[in-house]
Amino acid sequence: MTLDPVLARIDDDLPQATERLFDLLRIPSISTDPAYKEHCDAAADWLVADLASIGVDASKRPTNGHPMVVGHVDGPEGAPHILFYGHYDVQPVDPLELWDNPPFEPQIEDTPKGKVIRGRGSSDDKGQLMTFVEACRAWKAVHGSFPVKITFFFEGEEESGSPSLIPFLKDNGEELQSDVALICDTGMYGEETPAIVTRLRGLLGQEITITGPNKDLHSGMYGGISMNPARVLAKIIAGLHDDNGRVTVPGFYDGVAELPEDIAAQWKGLNFDAKHFLGEVGLSHPAGENDRSALEMIWSRPTCEVNGMKSGYTGDGFKTVLPSVASAKISFRLVSKQDPIKIRESFQNYVQSMLPPDCSVEFKNHGASAAGEMSTDNPAFHAAKSALTDEWPQPAVFTGCGGSIPIAAHFKTYLGTDALLTGFGKDDDQLHSPNEKYDMESFHKGIRSWARILNELGA
């Protein structure tokens, strides 16, 4: 099979591909709101029909929540078997008044950086999902077949915590087996540099509520003699980091591996501008571990951050009150082999050890997922890197990701499959926010990129 006519077909078919994406974007498949259940079903049905139109044996699979879409096509004898994952559900659109146009009426807009597709789901993840489908469509149109064996796996609950995902993987693991899983839910490194994410941070959430007196107290009558839960909470939070920015929770760094030299050298070559990165949000000085580079802190080092605090009177004016309760929400981003359950236990023990007499604490858990690291020894990673480099102005790079994409770790845990994450989103796509967009260049070159990757994998 030859690649050039496939790329030519993609170029010629771009207007039709855009219209197909618009059809999918018009479906308000908001997974977290029960009012949109029928729309999520409709999106799944749309994908089944679209896959069937290019010869994929596809079906909608029921779950306790929104359905999965699974499809299969064969490839040449001896060709690798890939699994492609995406999600068809989207985030809510609130606040609606901040949208310039209706979020489910997609359109192409001219911007100073070029044409963009504007609409909810355009980048996360319908636009990204359809880059792969369109690449497959072009292969089928030109050659009548596909260069590799493919399993398509589309989820409808990614934006609402994926409650049905693990049960589905457990029940259908044999059907979903593959040599490598491809995930298109990430972004570029810069405007012209494609990236393959090889490490994702895990996430642990913890809420603590400290209670002292059985009611709020008059600070003139009880101040000084009574323990103030806000003061206790402040001391606990202040003690979570030392003067060098390291987390002090006992055993926190157990399992944290140093960055391999070849990856460290590649990241250094990216010439990441920390001052510019921070400057865009009104900051100027890195605040984490002071012996680590900025990219290390974002991509390969663990963190402990306070996400919210509440205590006492916070309304207008002033109220001289001693609060009965103080609470905080704290998250940990995890890397390497850190064990989220052990860290949770250690953190809770740390908090207990800081409690003075007359104070008690309650804990509320908010998820615990381990980090994911993909081995680039898999030949698919280097095939994809070469293919991306051929399509974009700058060579492709292996990067990390400061966020968490649990599906990659789930594929490794439940299917034994490494996940290759590459996507074509941009930093200004406004994911989860009003006026979400996806660059036309990302859509067009994303389709061409997947066609090249399929060609390399087939070879």
For residue 400, the surrounding DSSP H or E stretch is strand 397-401
Is pLDDT above 70 for 373?
yes
Q: What is the pLDDT of residues 169-191, one digit of tens each?
A: 999 999 999 999 999 999 999 89
User: pLDDT per residue over 281-325, tens digit each?
Assistant: 899 999 999 999 999 999 999 999 999 999 999 999 999 999 999
Q: Which residues does 381 contact at the CB level (< 8 Å), separation at least 6? A: 196, 198, 374, 398, 420
**Structure confidence at residue 1 (pLDDT):** 67
CATH fold label, 202-256+302-368:
Alpha-Beta Plaits (3.30.70)
Residue 12, pLDDT score: 98
Which residue, among 90, 111, 91, has the nearest Cα to 100 in the 3D structure?
A: 111
Structure confidence at residue 450 (pLDDT): 98
pTM: 0.86
Average pLDDT, stretch 14-40?
Answer: 98
Instruction: Supply the pLDDT for residue 280.
Output: 86
Share of the chain above pLDDT 90, in %: 91
Angstrom distance (rounded) from CA 416 to CA 179: 9
Confidence check: pLDDT of 348 > 70: yes
Which of 55-69, 254-268, 394-408 has the highest average model confidence (pLDDT)?
55-69
Tokens of 291: 């012996």
Q: What is the pLDDT of residue 243?
A: 95
Architecture per CATH, 4-200+371-458:
3-Layer(aba) Sandwich (3.40)
- CA-CA-CA-CA dihedral for 44, 50, 52, 58, to nearest 10: -20
Q: What is the mean pLDDT of the chain?
A: 96
pLDDT at 421: 96
Tens digits of per-residue pLDDT, 429-454?
A: 999 999 999 999 999 999 999 999 99
Tokens (6 digits) for 336: 């390497």
pLDDT at 190: 87
Q: Taking 70 as the threshold, does the pLDDT of residue 159 lie above it?
A: yes
Tens digits of residue pLDDT in 93-142: 999 999 999 999 999 999 999 999 999 999 999 999 999 999 999 999 99
> pLDDT for 392-407, tens place per residue?
999 999 999 988 888 8
pLDDT of 226 strictly over 90: yes
Q: What is the 8-class DSSP label of residue 300?
A: T
- The count of residues in the chain is 459
Distance CA 194, CA 388 (A): 6
Contact between residue 137 and residue 152 where contact means Cβ atoms under 8 Å apart: no
The alpha helices in 256-333, defined as continuous H runs, are 261-269, 274-279, 294-299
Strand partners, 311: 326
Q: What is the mean pLDDT of residues 382-391?
A: 97
What pLDDT band is residue 278 in, cutting at 50, 70 and 90? very high
Examine the pLDDT at 377 and tell me if it is beyond 90: no
Q: How far is residue 206 CA from its own chain's centroid?
A: 20
Domain boundaries, the chain: 4-200+371-458, 202-256+302-368
